[in-house]
Amino acid sequence: MRFEYFAAPDDETAALTIDGGEIDGAVASHVVDPASVLGQLERLLGGPRGDDGLRSAQLVAESPDGARLLIRLSNHLVTLFGMVRPTTLDDVVKHWSLSRRFRRAEPEDLHAFAAGLHELCKGPGKRVYCRATADESELAAVMAPAATVPASAPDATDANPDPVEPKPLPRRR
């Protein structure tokens, strides 16, 4: 997935980016998933401990082909991260980078992303959004035709379904 974070005044303006065109001033990442990784950042900044991250982001729009999602970051997260002082941003990123989700990310890339997101969160009167775009390989896997299931195969409600039935996509963790 490719995640592009940007600021916009409202949901309607942000939804205009669902077509996949360039977004001015966007901060991009392949590892900072708004529904889970930003939840970790919110907890680090003093957000709710029992939250699984899904309160940190809300779906606003989806492209007709399902290749792109538009997600609004919570006002709480934006406010918390926008209040981080530049002198403590390094410490925040250092602690955030301890997450197992970042084990393949370069520390410099995470710091550059965090600095860019921090600037977006400091902007007055705007909301922060993320456009998540599926990679071509992810789209190909989803769009591939399902295997033909014989008429005598058990249906999805059976306790032991046929292994050729397509499985749902796993939730990113």
Kindly list the domain boundaries of the chain, sorted by start residue.
2-136
Going residue by residue through the chain, which has 173 residues, state the pLDDT in tens, using 9 for 90 and above.
Answer: 899 999 999 999 999 999 999 999 999 998 888 877 887 888 888 766 655 545 667 899 999 998 999 999 988 889 889 999 988 999 988 888 888 878 777 888 889 999 999 999 997 778 999 999 998 765 555 555 544 444 444 444 444 444 444 444 344 54
Half-sphere exposure in the Cβ direction for 25 (13 Å, CA): 12
Is residue 128 within 8 Å of 73, Cβ to Cβ?
A: yes
